[in-house]
Structure 1
Amino acid sequence: MITATPRPALLSSHAPFAPAPSVRRARTGEAAALAELSRPFVRSGVLRERPLSLYATHAADFLVIEAPGPALDGCVGLRVHPAAPGESGGPAGVLYNFCVAGHRQGRGVGAGLLRAALAVARARSLGALFTATTGGGGLFLRYGFTPTAAQLAPPSWAASLDPRRDARILSRVL
């Protein structure tokens, strides 16, 4: 589940500009850091809990922004779903587990992750990206995502969504 929490106030106009965050692929050994970054979002109910083994097994799905030290400032998973047999169009991607550390929200970390995910999706020739959010999805909407129906999303992903969470599904054609 992709979501957002309320952001702290944006930097004042007097604050120095920070350099654009550097995005890279997560390493298998960063499973614990991915889980730790996700924990506050799981506790608040905006993300589904995922076992540490998922982060380890699917670390290659994740794009991350490093914080100084062993922590991460943000992450997003991008899973590729091949087109179903007999279905027109190519593979689609799903963005999931989008997290930005509370102290880094409102500072371009999420936008940097989303731009990188869009670039990876284009490089992989994906036809569309999908995500689900229990929040407003403002960042996604600013980057061209629009509300869509679950029937248009990759079937295995759409079937995994918990209807009790009342998530809003968004997509962007690439």
Structure 2
Amino acid sequence: MAQAPLRPATATTAPVRLATLGTAPVRPATGADAAALHALSEPFMRSGELRVRTAADYRAAVGQFLLVPGPPSAGPDGCVALRRLPAEPGHPAAGLLHNLCVRPERQGTGLGSRLLAALLDTAARGGLRTVHAATTGSGELFRRFGFVPIPAALAPRSWAAGLDPARGSEVYRRILAEPGRAVGQARPDLHPRAISQTR
């Protein structure tokens, strides 16, 4: 049975409020966004920062994406996707964060943080208990949002079995709704750097 795509909370109910002055809000992608999401991601696929996916893959998975719109002629400024993983022992409600990317000229402006906060809120509201990710980057953005590095053997097998060891990705997990920290709340003791690209 196909699962409905996870959708973010509306602006009136979302508990996470990051500064958005002068910027477009994070919104769910629609079918009309699939080609633009693929175009945004292509340079990151060519550099090896993202796993190679076809335009058809983006059309099939468009319901998993959140994006920050950019100028109409340029497409989105950034995007991220959340896929619900099949339930398995030890991982009854896990999600996969993937395809986090921000247009190079918009990196360092907080877009990655906004996308990640919206994704974590979406995951929690969708009933997920954990979110997993793999990155070939520094992982600093993930750590600021409460992700911790874990051995791939502790990640859901349905996903971890497909990791390419040649890519050298580090695996991260975020347990949602930790005591004392709101979903999507960054750790104030760490500072942002370049956005880590994800599988």
- Deviating beyond 6 angstroms after TM superposition, the runs of 4 or more aligned structure 1 residues are none
Q: CA deviation at 1:34?
A: 0.6
Q: Which moved more, 1:124-133 or 1:19-28?
A: 19-28
Which secondary structure state, in structure 2, belongs to the residue aligned with residue 76 of structure 1?
strand
| Aligned equivalents of 1:67, 1:88: Cα separation in 2 | 40
What is the CA–CA distance in structure 2 between the aligned matches of 1:154 and 1:64, rounded to whole Å? Answer: 26
Q: Which has the higher helix share?
A: 1
Deviation (angstroms), 1:30? 1.4
Count of aligned pairs? 156
CA RMSD of aligned residues (A): 1.4
Percent of pairs identical after alignment? 46
Residue 28 (structure 1) shift: 1.3
**Length-normalised TM-score, structure 2:** 0.75
**Alpha-carbon contact 1:20-1:112 (below 8 Å) kept:** no
**Where in structure 2 are there 5+ consecutive unaligned residues?**
1-19, 177-199
Q: Deviations over 1:42-79 (max 9, x none)?
A: 12111111011110011000010000205000011100
Q: Please tell me whether the aligned partners of residues 38 and 99 of structure 1 are also in contact (alpha carbons under 8 angstroms).
A: yes
TM-score (norm 1): 0.85
Cα distance between partner residues in 2 of 1:128 and 1:97: 17
> In structure 2, what is the equivalent of residue 62 of structure 1?
65
Would the aligned equivalents of 1:20 and 1:108 in 2 still touch at CA under 8 Å? no
Contact conserved, 1:34 with 1:75, CA < 8 A, in 2? yes
**Which structure 1 residue ranges, 5 or more long, are not aligned?**
1-16
| Match 1:141 to one of 130, 140, 143 | 143
**In the alignment, is the contact (CA less than 8 A) between 1:80 and 1:94 conserved in 2?**
yes
More strand by share: 1
